[in-house]
Amino acid sequence: MISLVVAASTNNVIGKDNQLLWHLPNDMKFFKNTTWGMPVVMGRKTFDALAGEPLPGRFNFVITRNRSWDPHNKNAKVAPDLDAALRMAAETDCKEIFVIGGGQIYAEAMPVADRIYMTRVHAVVEGDTWFPVIDEKDWELVDNRDFPVDEKHAYAYSFQVWERKK
């Protein structure tokens, strides 16, 4: 199973200048708990946004067209494209592969994804990177849990799970 994991604003912005635009501790916990022990597939810019370090406790696969790029870490495997990264991730024998960004990688992965774990941030923000629009003729919202603004979360948000319609 291929799943996308993303936090996106109401207008589908996921970042600006290779940074997230919000700090939502519960989203970080959700992301960690969902992807722990599993393969994560990301673009090189997303890897760079993680301070150039692989996510601990996960199999990390980084997509880049730059054949000479070196992650300088044996825990990050390099793939030339999404198909190669997904094949490498499948060799881990895990039940689910998680695509974690960025925008271009999400757009490429959307047609082959089975599930989307989305933290919908209830705000309209400016950015330079977007998540693709979820087409409700192809996707069904199967879980939605809403959370209000509080002392640790500057934005209201929802944890959503979307499944591809059969």
The pLDDT value given to residue 27:
96
Identify whether the C-beta of residue 106 lies closer than 8 Å to the C-beta of residue 162.
no
Number of domains making up the chain: 1
Compute φ and ψ for 97, nearest 5 degrees: -110, 130
**Residue 161: what residue type?**
V
The pLDDT value given to residue 54:
93
Q: Specify the 3-state DSSP secondary structure of 118.
A: strand
What pLDDT digit, counting tens, does each position of 41-90 carry? Answer: 999 999 999 888 899 999 999 999 988 898 888 889 999 999 999 999 99
The pLDDT value given to residue 44:
94
Q: Which residues contact residue 152 at a Cβ distance below 8 angstroms, ignoring those fewer than 6 apart?
A: 25, 26
Q: Quick one: which of 95, 119, 93 has its CA closest to 2? A: 95
Q: CB count, 10 Å around CB of 119?
A: 21
Q: Is the entire prediction scored with pTM above 0.85?
A: yes
Q: The domain that contains 126 carries what CATH number?
A: 3.40.430.10
Q: Distance between CA 34 and CA 3 in Å, rounded?
A: 10
Domain enclosing residue 96, as ranges: 2-164
What's the mean pLDDT when you consider all of the chain? 95
Q: Distance between CA 38 and CA 40 in Å, rounded?
A: 6
The pLDDT value given to residue 52:
80
pLDDT above 90 for 108: yes
